[in-house]
Amino acid sequence: MTYPYASAQAQPALAVTPPSGAARPRLTFLGTGYLGATYAICFAELGYEVLGVDVDEPKISKLQAGAVPFHEPGLDELLRRNIAAGRLRFTTDYREAAEFGDVHFICVGTPQRADGMGADLGYVESSVISLVPHLTRKALIVGKSTVPVGTAEWIEQLVSKHAPADLGIEVAWSPEFLQEGHALEDVLRPNRLILGVKSQWAHDMLMTAHKGVFDLAHNEDREVPVVVTDFATAELVKVAANAFLATKISFINAMAEVCDAAGADVTQLAKSIGYDARIGNKFLRAGIGFGGGCLPKDIRAFQARAQELGAGEALRFLHEVDLINQRSRGRVVQIASELLARPYGPAGPDFSGLHIAVLGATFKPNSDDVRDSPALAITRSLARHGAQISIFDPQGMENAKRELPDMTYAPSLNDAVTGADLVCVLTEWEEFRYADPNALGDLVAAKLVIDGRNCLDQALWTAAGWTVRGLGRPSA
């Protein structure tokens, strides 16, 4: 059998024999949300026999029928191909998962707790407790979800409490770093693998479970760096990486505030400092800040955990990172009040009688994810101040409607801007970035645009008669 990502070369003997006796370890992915479904599909593509497991019956039926329940470029095709090839199945039955798998990856969500900033480990706990009593042979349980440091040790305790004795079940930690919209590449061609292990067997089994990743890299003349480390470090790598990325974004957004005050241009500033390789030019796009299911909750959970460990002081700056991020969202309402000449009263500006077109609902382009989306937070705020909103997003409309059912959703970009007194670009979809400002100018009531992602060609829009306001840029 041939498949695009598998090694064309003869397979060397495996370092360890999977407990099931299969030629390659059989993999289960517990939780088929964004993380688990993407991993399950990509590892089937790499040639493994894979079982995706979830308690959500409709989600499993959808996946089994070949439909990805979220938008991720390229994933639908891989799902259908691997189901057809017989390598990929989905189930709600943990007993079946226990019978099938050699390596079980925990991929369930770890949302922010309802009663605080820490992570809710309820789904992690229930996935482990649902699986391990059914195990009948040795297996490796590998954490992938983003968790507070110490979780892997706690899972070991859960395993020893709930698994049949003497099977030698082991635990390992291997965090993921996938970015929505880029997830296939991130899974198939990771820029590093972190293996938190306690034994040679766990190490060898985890390496064997990633052999497809190494083979693909080998075929493409690439290397995948591997860091073998302890549980705590492996867990911390993930949250530290996300904290750093969030800090980078808030740093440039803080610079945007200073640029606004000084009449400077943050896009030029970012470009200029980014040429220094020590700084780098990635994640320096100033705008309305970070959102999504990861960065906001992860920096809060990291602070909460550090506090519990007595190291809260060390992460106090992350509180500031969060505040800068919240302030960035607030800038759009401030700029709108200036552009629309509706000054701040005690309850903020009064936008009643005005029609504002919102372009973008998702937290970033090429995704349908609206979790903690800056675009929706700003939309909510504009509406609260009395504006009549019409919103359009190429992929996020269904999810946005669930979050904000009372808004008017336009079927197209043109419909959204027709008659608008102000246009706000809040997600940098290509459709918005490369829209024709002349054509849009004929549809609006006033040629005023707030570029919340600093993604428009200001010169082009200005030439078409628009007043353009970015964040941290002189008005054009």
170 touches ligand UDX (CB under 6 A):
no
Using alpha carbons, select from 144, 139, 100 the residue that is nearest to residue 123: 144
The contact pattern for ligand UDX, residues 235-274, with x = CB under 6 A and - = no contact, is -------x--x---x-------------------------
Does 107 qualify as catalytic in the annotation?
Answer: no
296 touches ligand UDX (CB under 6 A):
no
Rounded least distance, CB 71 to ligand UDX, Å: 12
466 touches ligand UDX (CB under 6 A):
no
Window contacting ligand UDX (CB under 6 A); options: 23-31, 108-116, 283-291, 405-413: 283-291
375 touches ligand UDX (CB under 6 A):
no
**71, 203, 305, 364: which one binds ligand UDX (CB under 6 A):** 364
Rounded least distance, CB 133 to ligand UDX, Å: 31
**202, 284, 354, 424: which one binds ligand UDX (CB under 6 A):** 284
- Amino acid type, 342: R
Contact 428, 291 (CB under 8 A): no
Strand pairing report for 226-229 and 193-196? parallel
> Distance between CA 390 and CA 398 in Å, rounded?
14
**Nearest residue (CB) to ligand UDX, 20 versus 367:** 367
- 10 Å Cβ neighbour count for 384? 12
**Nearest residue (CB) to ligand UDX, 20 versus 328:** 328
Segments in 110-166 forming alpha helices (H): 122-131, 151-162
In the block, residue with structure tokens 């088929």:
32
231 touches ligand UDX (CB under 6 A):
no
> Distance between CA 284 and CA 354 in Å, rounded?
33
Residue 30, phi then psi, degrees to nearest 5: -90, 115
**33, 143, 291, 452: which one binds ligand UDX (CB under 6 A):** 291
**178, 336, 382, 423: which one binds ligand UDX (CB under 6 A):** 178
Strand pairing report for 467-470 and 448-451? parallel
Q: How many helices (H) and strands (E) does the chain have?
A: 19, 14
- 10 Å Cβ neighbour count for 123? 19
34 touches ligand UDX (CB under 6 A):
no
In the block, residue with structure tokens 């089937």:
44
> Distance between CA 225 and CA 208 in Å, rounded?
15
Instruction: Compute CA 246 distance to the chain's CA centroid, rounded to the nearest angstrom.
Output: 12
393 touches ligand UDX (CB under 6 A):
no
**Nearest residue (CB) to ligand UDX, 131 versus 299:** 299
Burial of 436 (0-12, 13-18, 19+ CB in 10 A): exposed
**62, 80, 285, 380: which one binds ligand UDX (CB under 6 A):** 285
**36, 47, 190, 287: which one binds ligand UDX (CB under 6 A):** 287
Catalytic site positions: 294
Interface residue list for ligand UDX (CB under 6 A)? 176-180, 242, 245, 249, 283-285, 287, 289-292, 294-295, 363-364
